[in-house]
C-alpha cells in the first residue's frame, strides 16, 4: 500500500482528498487527512457577517460531512514534520509515515506581530473579520457603533483573499448609508500597496470606485505599531492615522510547524514550482492552497483551479511519469462593491485582470472589471457552490486555465 | 518596450521606469537612478541592501519583498525606510535594476 498524508482539511485539503479518492486505485492507496479543528469554516462568509448579510450559522459545518468514507480523518495538531524521514508527528502521540505528502495548512492571522495590535483594545476598538470569532465580535461592534472614523488597515502582503479588505470598506459604506449614518462616518483605507490593488488596470478602476464612494486611500502605509490608548496607527515612515474603530488585517503567515520543518520561506509559505506545486526541495512533497508560495492570489477559487489540474498530474507522477507544467495561476475574484453590486476579476500569472465577459465570451453572464448586479449574485451563489460542488471536489463547467477569449485589451 | 540612456548605457525599461533586464545594470546606473528617487548619496548601508537584492533576485528571479530584505540583509525595517523612504521595496528594486516587486496578488 502507498501512503498519502494530507496536512490540513480546509478548502484545499478537503477538495484534493475528494478528488484523489476517485482518481487513485484505493486498493493500493491509504489517504490520511490531519486537522486540529473539527469545524470547517466558510471563510468568504466572514466578510458578510459583520453587515448582517450572513448569520453565524451560515459560516460553518462539521468537517466530517465533506470527507469521503475511504479517507481517514485524524483530528489532531500537527506537531512536527520530518521530511528527511518521511514522517509527521501529531499532538496525540501518533507518528504517520508517508510516501507522498500534501501540505494544505493554509494561512492565518498574527496580530501579535504588530506591537499594540492584539493587546488590551483587541475586540474593543480594534477588530478583524479575518477569523470566525473576529467576524462575530465585529458584527456586535458595528451594530452599536455611533460613528466616527473607521480605518481599515492591511498590515502586510500577501494576505488571503487580497480583495476582501476593499470589499469590507465598500460594504461598510453601503451599510452606513442604509442605517442613515453615512454622514457620521469617515472611511479610510490604509494599505502598504501604492494603490487600491496590485494590478494596474484593476487598481485604477477600484481606485475610482473608492473615491466615488468618498473612501480615502492612504497608500504605501506600512504599519509599525498601534497606540491602542491614543487610538492611532503609526507607519515606519512616521505617518499617523487616528481612528475610532480600527479594522485590521493582521500579518498573514503559514503554519509555524511548516517553518520549523525547514519547508517554508520567511512567512512559512512553501516554495514550490508554480506550475506543478511540487516542493523545490523534496520530490515527494506538494503544497496546495494558501500554504504554497506562488505569485497568485491566496483564494479558494485558485485552489480549485489548481487542484483541477493537480489531480491528473499527481496520478501521472505516482505512475512514474513527469509532472506537466499545467497550472497558470488562474484566479477569479468576485469583489462586492456595495448596493447589491459586484465586480469580477479573472487573471493569471502573466495576464492582469481585463474587462470583458465571463465565462462565455461575449455572453457572460458575468462582466469582468465592471460593476453589475449579476456579479453580486455570483458572489452569493458561491456559498452554495462551495459547500455542494467545490469541497466535494466536483468539476465546474469552467476551464481551469485562464482564457483570453471574451476579454478586451485596454 | 521603451529604452532610455543612463550614464551612456542604453537600457530597456517598462512604462513605470523599472529596468527589465538586470544584466544591463551597473553601479553608475544605480547612483543615477537613486538621484532620480531623491537619494543624493548611496552610503555603505544602501549598497548592502542593493547587493542583497541583486543576489536575492538572481536566485529567485524576482525582486525581494521588504520582509525578505530585512530578514536576509540584517537591516531593520525602520532603517530600511530611512534609507529608501516611502515604499522601500519598490525603490530598491528600481535602483537595483530589477523589475517591480510582485509583492502580492
Ligand atoms: C474574509 C475572507 C474572505 C474570503 N473570500 C474569498 C472569496 O470570496 N473567494 C475565494 O475564493 N476565497 C476567499 N477567501 C480565501 C479562502 O477562504 C482561502 O483561500 C481558502 O480557504 C484556502 O484554503 P486552504 O485549504 O489553503 O486553507 P484553509 O481552508 O484555511 O485550511 C487550513 C487548515 O489547516 C489546518 N491547520 C493549520 N495548521 C495546523 C496544525 N498545525 N495542525 C493541524 N491542523 C492545522 C487548519 O485547522 C485548517 O483547517 C476568503 C478568506 C477570508 C479570510
Whether B103 has a pLDDT exceeding 70, the answer reads no
Do A49 and A136 lie in a common domain? no
pLDDT tens profile A328-360:
999 988 899 999 999 999 999 988 888 888 988
Domains identified in chain A, total number: 3
Whether B101 has a pLDDT exceeding 80, the answer reads no
pLDDT tens profile A201-250:
888 889 999 999 999 999 989 999 999 999 999 999 899 999 999 999 99
CATH code, domain with A247: 3.50.50.60
* Amino acid A99: pLDDT: 98
Whether A98 has a pLDDT exceeding 70, the answer reads yes
Residue B10 lies in a domain: yes
Do A247 and A123 lie in a common domain? yes
Whether A410 has a pLDDT exceeding 90, the answer reads no
pLDDT band at B16 (very low <50, low <70, confident <90, very high): confident
pLDDT tens profile A253-283:
999 999 999 999 999 999 999 999 999 999 9
Residue A398 lies in a domain: no
How far is B66 from chain A, CA to nearest CA, in Å?
A: 9
Which residue among A10, A277, A287, A310 is best mutated to probe the pocket of ligand 1, counting the most ligand atoms within 8 A of its Cβ?
A: A10
Which residue among A63, A106, A268 is best mutated to probe the pocket of ligand 1, counting the most ligand atoms within 8 A of its Cβ?
A: A106
Residue A14 contacts residue A66 (beta carbons within 8 Å): yes
Chain B contact set for A296 (CB, 8 A): 105
Residue A278 lies in a domain: yes
pLDDT tens profile B43-72:
999 999 999 999 999 988 888 888 889 988
Give A10 Cα–ligand 1 centroid separation in angstroms. 6
What's the pTM? 0.94
Nearest CB neighbour to B87, from listed A194, A198, A224: A194
Q: What is the mean pLDDT of chain A?
A: 95
Residue A147 sits in which domain range? 110-251
Give A106 Cα–ligand 1 centroid separation in angstroms. 5
Lowest mean pLDDT among A126-140, A175-189, A272-286, A351-365: A351-365
Inter-chain residue contact A295 with B85, CB threshold 8 Å: no
* Amino acid A176: pLDDT: 98
Inter-chain residue contact A222 with B85, CB threshold 8 Å: no
Say which of B1, B23, B40, B104 is annotated catalytic.
Answer: B104
Residue A410 lies in a domain: no
What percent of chain B clears pLDDT 90, i.e. is strictly above it?
65
pLDDT tens profile A355-379:
888 988 888 889 999 999 998 988 8
Residue B103 lies in a domain: no
* Amino acid B76: pLDDT: 94
pLDDT band at A57 (very low <50, low <70, confident <90, very high): very high
Give the span between the Cα atoms of A115 and A228, in whole angstroms. Answer: 9
Residue B101 lies in a domain: no
Inter-chain residue contact A162 with B85, CB threshold 8 Å: no
* Amino acid A362: pLDDT: 85
Do A363 and A308 lie in a common domain? no
Domains identified in chain B, total number: 1
Residue B53 lies in a domain: yes
Q: Is B104 a catalytic residue?
A: yes
Residue A397 lies in a domain: no
DSSP 3-state assignment of B45?
A: helix
* Amino acid B78: pLDDT: 92
Q: How far apart are the first and last CA of chain B?
A: 23
* Amino acid A8: pLDDT: 98
Inter-chain residue contact B86 with A266, CB threshold 8 Å: no
Inter-chain residue contact B105 with A331, CB threshold 8 Å: yes
Question: What one-character DSSP code corresponds to residue B23?
Answer: G
* Amino acid B104: pLDDT: 52
Task: Report the nearest-CA residue for atom 7 of ligand 1.
Answer: A44
pLDDT band at A106 (very low <50, low <70, confident <90, very high): very high
H, E, C per residue of chain A = CEEEEEECCCHHHHHHHHHHHHHCCCCCEEEEEEECCCEEECHHHHHCHHHCCCCHHHCEEEHHHHCCCCEEEEECCEEEEECCCCEEEECCCCEEECCEEEECCCEEEEHHHCCCCCCCCECCCEECCCCHHHHHHHHHHHHHCCCEEEEEEECCCCCECCCHHHHHHHHHHHHHHHCCCHHHEEEEEECCCCCCCCCHHHHHHHHHHHHHCCEEEECCCCEEEEECCCCEEEECCCCEEECCEEEEECEEEECHHHHHCCCCCCCCCEEECCCCCEECCCCCEEECHHHEECCCCECHHHHHHHHHHHHHHHHHHHCCCCCCCCCCCCEEEEEEEECCEEEEEEECCCCCCCCEEEEECCCEEEEECCCEHHHHHHHHHHHHHHHHHHCCCCCCCCCCCCCCCCECCC
- According to DSSP, the residues that pair with A360 across neighbouring strands are A364
Give the span between the Cα atoms of B86 and B77, in whole angstroms. Answer: 12
Q: How many residues does chain A have?
A: 410
What percent of chain A clears pLDDT 90, i.e. is strictly above it?
83
Residue B62's Cβ-count burial label (10 Å; 0-12, 13-18, 19+) is middle
Which residue among A15, A34, A35, A333 is best mutated to probe the pocket of ligand 1, counting the most ligand atoms within 8 A of its Cβ?
A: A35
Chain A contact set for B56 (CB, 8 A): none
Spell out which chain A residues touch chain B, with contact meaning CB-CB distance below 8 angstroms: 156-159, 162, 193-194, 198-199, 220, 222, 224, 236-237, 265-267, 295-297, 331
Do A314 and A211 lie in a common domain? no
pLDDT tens profile A31-55:
999 999 999 999 999 999 999 999 9
Chain B contact set for A158 (CB, 8 A): 103-105
Inter-chain residue contact B102 with A224, CB threshold 8 Å: no
Do A143 and A243 lie in a common domain? yes
Do A233 and A259 lie in a common domain? no
Residue A54 lies in a domain: yes
Residue B41 sits in which domain range? 2-95
Do A236 and A265 lie in a common domain? no
Give A185 Cα–ligand 1 centroid separation in angstroms. 31
Give A163 Cα–ligand 1 centroid separation in angstroms. 15
Q: Which residues line ligand 1 (CB under 6 A)?
A: A 8-13, 34-37, 43-44, 46-47, 77-78, 104-106, 129-130, 160-161, 164, 255, 257, 289-291, 298-301, 303, 334
Do A118 and A187 lie in a common domain? yes
Do A236 and A353 lie in a common domain? no
Give A269 Cα–ligand 1 centroid separation in angstroms. 13
Q: How far apart are the first and last CA of chain A?
A: 54
Lowest mean pLDDT among A251-255, A316-320, A399-403: A399-403
Do A344 and A303 lie in a common domain? no
* Amino acid A92: pLDDT: 97
Do A147 and A174 lie in a common domain? yes
Residue B102 lies in a domain: no
Inter-chain residue contact A193 with B90, CB threshold 8 Å: no
Whether B33 has a pLDDT exceeding 80, the answer reads yes
Residue A404 lies in a domain: no
Residue B105 lies in a domain: no
Is B91 within 8 Å of chain A by CB? no
Average pLDDT over residues A299-309: 95
- Residue A47 CA: nearest ligand 1 atom is 1
Do A38 and A62 lie in a common domain? yes
Domain end residue (candidates: A195, A219, A251)? A251
Q: For residues A95-108, b (16+ Cβ closer than 10 Å) or e, as one string?
A: ebebebbbbbbbbb
Residue A277 contacts residue A288 (beta carbons within 8 Å): yes
Amino acid at each position: 500500500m502507498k501512503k498519502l498524508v494530507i496536512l490540513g482539511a480546509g478548502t484545499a485539503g478537503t477538495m484534493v482528498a475528494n478528488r484523489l479518492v476517485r482518481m487513485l486505485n484505493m486498493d493500493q492507496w491509504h489517504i490520511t487527512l490531519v486537522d486540529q479543528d473539527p469545524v470547517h469554516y466558510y471563510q468568504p462568509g466572514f466578510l458578510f457577517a459583520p453587515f448582517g448579510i450572513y448569520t453565524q450559522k451560515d459560516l460553518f459545518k462539521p468537517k466530517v460531512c465533506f470527507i469521503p468514507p475511504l479517507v481517514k480523518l485524524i483530528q489532531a495538531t500537527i506537531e512536527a514534520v520530518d521530511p528527511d524521514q518521511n514522517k509527521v508527528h501529531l499532538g496525540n502521540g501518533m507518528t504517520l509515515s508517508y510516501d507522498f505528502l500534501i501540505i494544505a495548512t493554509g494561512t492565518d492571522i498574527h496580530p501579535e506581530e504588530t506591537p499594540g495590535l492584539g493587546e488590551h483594545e483587541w475586540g474593543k476598538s480594534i477588530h478583524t473579520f479575518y477569523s470566525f470569532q473576529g467576524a462575530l465580535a465585529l458584527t456586535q461592534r458595528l451594530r452599536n457603533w455611533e460613528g466616527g472614523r473607521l480605518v481599515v488597515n492591511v498590515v502586510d502582503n500577501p494576505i488571503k483573499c487580497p480583495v476582501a479588505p476593499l470589499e469590507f470598506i465598500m460594504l461598510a459604506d453601503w451599510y452606513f448609508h442604509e442605517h442613515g449614518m453615512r454622514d457620521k462616518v469617515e472611511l479610510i483605507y490604509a494599505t502598504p500597496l501604492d494603490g487600491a490593488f496590485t494590478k494596474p488596470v484593476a487598481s485604477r478602476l477600484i481606485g475610482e470606485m473608492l473615491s466615488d464612494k468618498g473612501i480615502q486611500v492612504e497608500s504605501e502605509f506600512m504599519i509599525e505599531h498601534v497606540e491602542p490608548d491614543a487610538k492611532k496607527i503609526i507607519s515606519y515612515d512616521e505617518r499617523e492615522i487616528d481612528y475610532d474603530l480600527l479594522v485590521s488585517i493582521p500579518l498573514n503567515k503559514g503554519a509555524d510547524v511548516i517553518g520549523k520543518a525547514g519547508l517554508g520561506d520567511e512567512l512559512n509559505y512553501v516554495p514550490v514550482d508554480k506550475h506543478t506545486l511540487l516542493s523545490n526541495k523534496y520530490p515527494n512533497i506538494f503544497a496546495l492552497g494558501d500554504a504554497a508560495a506562488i505569485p497568485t492570489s491566496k483564494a479558494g477559487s485558485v485552489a480549485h483551479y489548481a487542484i483541477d489540474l493537480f489531480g491528473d498530474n499527481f496520478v501521472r507522477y505516482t505512475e512514474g511519469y513527469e509532472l506537466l507544467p499545467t497550472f497558470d495561476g488562474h484566479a477569479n475574484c468576485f469583489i462586492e462593491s456595495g448596493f447589491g453590486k459586484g465586480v469580477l476579476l479573472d487573471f493569471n500569472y502573466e495576464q492582469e485582470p481585463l474587462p470583458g465577459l465571463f465565462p462565455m465570451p461575449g455572453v457572460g453572464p458575468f462582466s469582468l472589471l465592471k460593476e453589475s448586479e449579476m456579479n453580486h449574485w455570483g458572489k452569493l451563489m458561491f456559498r452554495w457552490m462551495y459547500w455542494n460542488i467545490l469541497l466535494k471536489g466536483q468539476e465546474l463547467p469552467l476551464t481551469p486555465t485562464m482564457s483570453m477569449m471574451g476579454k478586451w485589451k485596454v | 518596450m521603451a529604452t532610455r540612456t543612463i550614464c551612456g548605457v542604453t537600457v530597456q525599461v517598462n512604462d513605470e521606469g523599472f529596468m527589465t533586464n538586470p544584466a544591463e545594470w551597473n553601479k553608475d546606473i544605480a547612483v543615477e537612478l537613486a538621484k532620480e528617487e531623491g537619494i543624493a548619496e548611496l552610503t555603505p548601508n544602501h549598497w548592502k541592501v542593493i547587493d542583497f537584492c541583486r543576489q536575492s533576485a538572481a536566485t529567485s528571479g524576482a525582486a525581494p519583498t521588504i520582509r525578505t530584505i530585512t530578514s536576509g540583509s540584517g537591516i531593520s525595517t525602520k532603517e530600511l525606510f530611512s534609507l529608501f523612504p516611502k515604499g522601500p521595496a519598490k525603490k530598491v528594486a528600481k535602483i537595483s535594476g530589477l523589475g517591480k516587486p510582485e509583492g502580492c496578488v
